[in-house]
Amino acid sequence: MAKLKLILLILLAVVLADFAVENAQTLPALKLFKFELGQLPTFLLAYISLAVGLVIGWVAHAMRVRRKKREADAASTAEQQQKPQESQGAQQAE
pTM: 0.61
Calpha distance 5→2 (Å, rounded): 5
CB-based contact 36:21 (threshold 8 Å): no
Neighbours of 20 (CB within 10 A): 15
pLDDT band at 51 (very low <50, low <70, confident <90, very high): very high
Query: Angle 10-15-21 (CA atoms, 0-180°, nearest 5)?
Result: 125
Task: Tell which residue, 39, 48, 38, 45, has the closest CA to residue 23.
Answer: 45
At 92, the pLDDT band (50, 70, 90 cuts) reads low
**Average pLDDT over every residue of 25-44:** 81
